Amino acid sequence: MSAITADLQMIRRLTRFDPWAVMIFLALAIGSTFAASYWWGRTMIREAMTTNYQQIGLRTHFTETGLVLTWDEARLSLSECQAGERSVPCLIFRTQE
């Protein structure tokens, strides 16, 4: 009987959680949830941007230094436009007729 009591006490000691262990586990769980949510949201925004650019003829290429845009010359042409008193480069969208 004393062996069973000793075993039960050892099981109780091994299964007792320290409040700090519970707090650390909860903090890690919340942190990993936020990290996964951030990564998923960033991926969805990138996909939406790519789709929107493709609709007007722009192709996106994500590189280490940033976003590179190329365009379909059949749909877009590079030109000079007036922005107030300044002359700036612009892309003009040709509608498909």
- The ranges assigned to domains in the chain are 1-56, 58-96
Of the candidates 64, 94, 91, 68, which has an alpha carbon nearest to the alpha carbon of residue 80? 91
69 burial (CB, 10 Å; 0-12 / 13-18 / 19+) is exposed
| Residue that wins the pLDDT comparison between 41 and 7 | 41
Share of the chain above pLDDT 90, in %: 27
For 5-14, 41-50, 80-89, which range has the lowest pLDDT when averaged over its residues?
Answer: 5-14
Instruction: Give me the pLDDT at residue 97, please.
Output: 56
Instruction: Give me the pLDDT at residue 37, please.
Output: 98
| Residue that wins the pLDDT comparison between 54 and 80 | 80
Q: Contact, 69 vs 82, CB < 8 A?
A: no
Claim: this prediction has a pTM higher than 0.75: no
Give the tokens for residue 30.
């919340």
Which residues is 34 bridged to in the sheet? none
Quick one: which H or E segment has residue 25?
helix 19-55
